[in-house]
Amino acid sequence: MACSSPRRRTSSFTAATLLLLGALFMANLDMTGAQVGICYGMMGNNLPPATEVIALYRQYNIKRMRLYDPNEGALNALRGSGIEVMLGIPNSDLQRLTNPSEANSWVQKNVLNFWPNVRFRYIAVGNEISPVNGGTSWMAPFVLPALVNVFNAVRAAGLQDQIKVSIAIDMTLIGTSYPPSAGAFRGDVTSYLAPIVGHLAYAKTPLFANIYTYFSYSGNPKDISLPYALFTSPSVLVWDNGRGYQNLFDAMLDSLYSALERLGGGNTLDVVVSESGWPSAGGFGTTFDNAGTYLSNLIRHVKGGTPKRPGKAIETYIFAMFDENQKQPELEKHFGAFYPYKQPKYNLNFGGQRNWDISAEHNATVSLKSDM
């Protein structure tokens, strides 16, 4: 079911106010020193063409993009843009990429034919494949050979230092997450992950992880408070071996670091947060205010690292660029940072104060305080 059309701008929401809102959005993303990118999903029938999307990234100084497949229109539009790209290999392609010649052909067609006019930063070999997820478990045996073959194809082109090849996981592979220092993968996924982690450590490549505090909170609101999930808790809520955790994002990421260490990744394997966001509608805890609060706080927070790895900026990709009306279930349609008509949904704010009221767009004053 398609979602309703975005509310049109009222006459009071003038071009001047749009320009001001855009300037604020641009400043917010730029303050992270380009550590923050945005995922460009295309599952909507009302989205602008790729050329306009790339222009929108440039207009708002969004310097990194996650692209889920080698869409030719998007790749051509990215030529000369300067945007750094995490390019996804669709799960449906992994089986054939277990053949080294197929991997070489894929890299030639979708990477080398565009390089260096398109600035590829990463290749993500599949997304959220799990050996214990019935929907993706049959693909799990293909992940490591496809990963190695694509890495070898990139290395054969002499680009292994410029383009890193990895996989993107979700947090359902974590079996123990509390406290963060006890983080460990599920016992039934370790044989799948261990050789992958070993390869990433050898290749000096980060693991990609999709980290959503929203799903942890909505699945367990009795034990996880909304402020803890939204970065708005006024004090430390969890102490772990002298490390204080004031937000769930840090706790989840540090539990993943601990799990990687237990699996042989050492304390040097980095994690890139390849997705993180909060839906504005469609489910429990999905309000416009909560989504705006989460994104603004996330952008500000990732500059500073976690208690386990302080002072180290966390490269993070917001999910997603647009609301995508062809996704299911309903809440999946409402993760966008922009409306399909190219205006920002939120006043993303680093300073803590509200710089702009988008009430003309939403019939409600935007607040950066969560419901307690």
Peptide bond just before 340 cis, omega within 30 deg: no
Q: Is 128 considered catalytic here?
A: yes
Beta-carbon neighbour count of residue 272 at 10 Å?
24
Given 128, 261, 315, 361, the catalytic residue: 128
Would residue 368 count as lying in a domain? no
C-beta of residue 20 within 8 angstroms of C-beta of residue 357: no
Would residue 53 count as lying in a domain? yes
Would residue 3 count as lying in a domain? no
DSSP 39: E
- Rounded to an integer, what distance in angstroms lies between the CA atom of residue 285 and that of residue 257? 28
pLDDT single digits (tens) 275-330: 999 999 999 999 999 999 999 999 999 989 999 999 999 999 999 999 999 999 99
pLDDT of residue 34: 42
pLDDT single digits (tens) 218-269: 999 999 999 999 999 999 999 999 999 999 999 999 999 999 999 988 778 9
Would residue 54 count as lying in a domain? yes
Could you tell me the CA-to-CA distances from 56 to 52, 95, 204, 275, 318 in Å, in that order?
Answer: 6, 35, 33, 20, 15
pTM of the model: 0.86
Find the CATH number of the domain harbouring 264. Answer: 3.20.20.80
Would residue 20 count as lying in a domain? no
Beta-carbon neighbour count of residue 68 at 10 Å?
20
Given 275, 315, 332, 361, the catalytic residue: 275
Low-confidence ranges of the chain (pLDDT < 50): 1-34, 349-372
Would residue 371 count as lying in a domain? no
Residues 6+ apart with CB under 8 A from 108: 153
Domain of residue 301 covers 33-338
Q: Kindly provide the b/e burial profile for residues 130-167, where b requires at least 16 CB atoms within 10 angstroms of the residue's own CB.
A: bbebeebeebbebbbbbbbbbbbbbeebebbeebbbbb
Structural domains counted in the chain? 1
Q: Is 332 considered catalytic here?
A: no
Could you tell me the CA-to-CA distances from 225 to 66, 216, 337 in Å, in that order?
Answer: 30, 10, 24
